[in-house]
Structure 1
Amino acid sequence: MSSIRNTGKWVMLVLVSALMSILLRWAGFPAAELLGPMVAGMFFALRGVVLNVPRLAFGGAQAVVGCMVALTLTPSTLASLGEDWLIMLAVVCMTIAAGGLVGLLLMRFGSLPGNTAAWGSSPGGAAAMTAMAESFGADVRMVAFMQYLRMFVVVLTASGVSRILLGHTADIPAQPSWSPGFDAPLVPLAQTLAVIMGGLFLSGRLRIPAGALLVPMLAGAVLNSTGLVTLVLPHWLLWVAYASLGWYIGLRFDRETVLHVLHAIPQMLLATFLLIALCCASAWLLTVWLGLDALSAYLATSPGGLDSVAIIAMGSGCDVAFVLALQTLRLFAVVVTGPFVARLICRISGVSARGSGVRP
């Protein structure tokens, strides 16, 4: 009887999650396929419904996100990186330092628990940072809220920046197709699933922190960019991964956490705009060092999602190749250096690198 009740609860959660994803997508929210299940999970948890996402499902979601990051490293991106790699690297380091500074200020003067501010202020890779934060003891609920709040603000500000610099509004990123992608080629799909499962196995055996994400990301990037395998992520696979991640986060909310989130929104918004301003300083340096146009420099250094920034760049007629190359380099750098930066910020602030005030 208990098993039947749990099945009914999961069916209802899936239906409500699908409805929330459709509504959020219609409203223009980025990452609606992740936010919908997360909001639905929050609703169920606050109603007293007890459901648990298996750890294996959460690990699989991390591995899929890792492969998604790996797909950004293409031969054309590598060619663009080779032209101005030193300046790009300097700008990426400045962006990571800006995120670290914002996280440090939040930890010193904000009210976020433990090392949560260090992960939540990381400039990019929202899904990756949310997935990795769990492995390092941060409050994954607050990290997710901070990351996706920043992504939403960055997407909205792109329209205003484009109007100022070009005299017209930038194209707001269109949501991906709802086609499930069941027609994905079988051989590349099998190779992708092998990378995911192999990465999960190796990360478990080697006990690498956040290895479920990092191992598939690094292996997939090498194999895909060299042509040894072809990674493909059909929408159904992304939906399953996003839903698992969203439920894992949302089902852990309680009333105390929701009240704390609402109380912390002003400081989160202040931190977001401070990070955007610091990234604008990096953009100005690009205009000075490379003579890049202002909009291309802004989009290249913008701390938003890679997919959102790419679509805005293509819709505004700027230097798309440069924007994608710098955004890709920053995404990889942020994911790889995230644990080190979080530990460093915690050490400076005198907070345990693995302490977070996470509540079960």
Structure 2
Amino acid sequence: MTRWLTLALITVVATAGASWLAVPSAGLFVALFVALVFALAGWAPRSGVPRRWGIAAQAVLGVEIGTLVQRDALATLGDAWVPVVAACVGTLLLSIAAGALLGLRRDVDSLTGALALVAGGASGLVAIAQELGGDERIVAVVQYLRVVLVTTTMPIVAIVVFSAHGNGDAIIDTSDAGAPWLLDLAFVAICAAVGYLLARLIRLPAPGLLGPMIVVTAIDLLGVSIDGNVPALLLTAAYIGIGWQAGLKFTMDSLRMISRILPTALLLIIGITVGCAVLGLALAATTSMSAYDGYLATTPGGVYAVLAIAASTGANVTFVVAAQVIRVFMMLFAVPVGAKIVRHYRRP
């Protein structure tokens, strides 16, 4: 209990500091780093993160991702649906190809390589990596490397390449609004429970994540007005649980192994980022959107950062929102289903 309390206290304080510094996905990756230090120092709780905690964290995250879907935003795509979906499929194929290349290394299997380099839903992929049969430590580190690289280079590309400038508008508000927090908690609990049970019933892979995500998405697309959100503290707690789950499993051997694959992973992430930029230009050429809108719509990571930059630089926010949400959903659905198929055919 003392170890858990110490781990929690340090993680919370460090997460607050990282959030103040605008570190992307602060709760998840601070928790990963702190848990890693505890594991290597021999201070980690012996039991690790209970499986029930992991499933609960996945469910909260699934509800949060589901709330990203806005029917009005998707409706604005109009005739651009086909090019947007094609760009998302292109991103998926780029990710799979990069994952296959990473999987050529002897210390990384092909499934872990694919999970680590899929460009969409980093926190969700980390949460379900172990369940799908991948090494969640590698997935967590490489996914965070992708998020950091994309998030830090995006403003530079926007200014240098597209001559984008801030227009003084406020960035998109992702804070809780609308329903009181008790109703928000009830909304999360009901959607999580119903989604998880339905996903188990129809044997979906990663039911903790995909079930709640489907339920919340269906509620919005059916036009049911609930105005529910995931409370910020609850979402942060879910991120922390996912980070602990991966970080507490580190050893010195695994850390050395991951450090050896990072240069290769970095080159592949750069390749994916450049490839997605090309897809963005192709998207712009086949729609009425500008090249800048196409770039933001296909940027492979950091959804909230993308939306913030789009809003503050006068880009077509609704188009970017719709394209990014489709990308995240496609990745999070395709990867678990693909992993299930691979596991099925691997069985003797």
TM-score (structure 2 length as normaliser) = 0.89
State how far apart, in whole Å, the 2-side matches of 1:353 and 1:16 are. 42
RMSD: 2.8
Superposition pairs for residues 13-24 of structure 1, below 5 Å? 13-24=7-18
| 8 Å CA contact 1:57, 1:244 repeated in 2 | yes
Question: What SS does the corresponding residue of 2:161 show, helix, strand or coil?
Answer: helix
The equivalent position to 1:10 in structure 2, one of 1, 4, 8, is 4
Partner residue, 2:246: 249
Which residue identity is paired with 1:299? L
Provide, for residues 75-99 of structure 1, a one-character-per-residue CA deviation record: whole Å limited to 9, x for no partner: 2222123441111111111111111
| 8 Å CA contact 2:176, 2:229 repeated in 1 | no
Provide, for residues 302-322 of structure 1, a one-character-per-residue CA deviation record: whole Å limited to 9, x for no partner: 001221211111112111111
Superposition pairs for residues 1-360 of structure 1, below 5 Å? 7-51=1-45, 52-109=48-105, 111-167=107-163, 184-204=180-200, 207-225=203-221, 226-227=223-224, 229-342=226-339
State how far apart, in whole Å, the 1-side matches of 2:118 and 2:190 are. 30
Which residue identity is paired with 2:251? D
Percent identity of equivalent pairs: 29
Question: What SS does the corresponding residue of 1:253 show, helix, strand or coil?
Answer: coil
* Cα deviation, residue 271, structure 1: 0.9
* Cα deviation, residue 209, structure 1: 2.0
| 8 Å CA contact 2:280, 2:291 repeated in 1 | yes
- Please list every run of 5 or more consecutive structure 2 residues that lacks an aligned counterpart in the other structure: none
Which residue identity is paired with 1:45? A
C-alpha spacing 1:325/1:343, structure 2 compared with 1 (3 Å): same
| 8 Å CA contact 1:115, 1:352 repeated in 2 | no
* Cα deviation, residue 278, structure 1: 1.0
* Cα deviation, residue 20, structure 1: 2.2
Question: What SS does the corresponding residue of 2:77 show, helix, strand or coil?
Answer: helix
- Please list every run of 5 or more consecutive structure 1 residues that lacks an aligned counterpart in the other structure: 1-6, 355-360
Count of aligned pairs between the two proteins? 342
C-alpha spacing 1:176/1:14, structure 2 compared with 1 (3 Å): farther
Provide, for residues 171-206 of structure 1, a one-character-per-residue CA deviation record: whole Å limited to 9, x for no partner: 9x98989x999x934334312211112233444555
Question: What SS does the corresponding residue of 2:312 show, helix, strand or coil?
Answer: helix
C-alpha spacing 1:134/1:222, structure 2 compared with 1 (3 Å): same
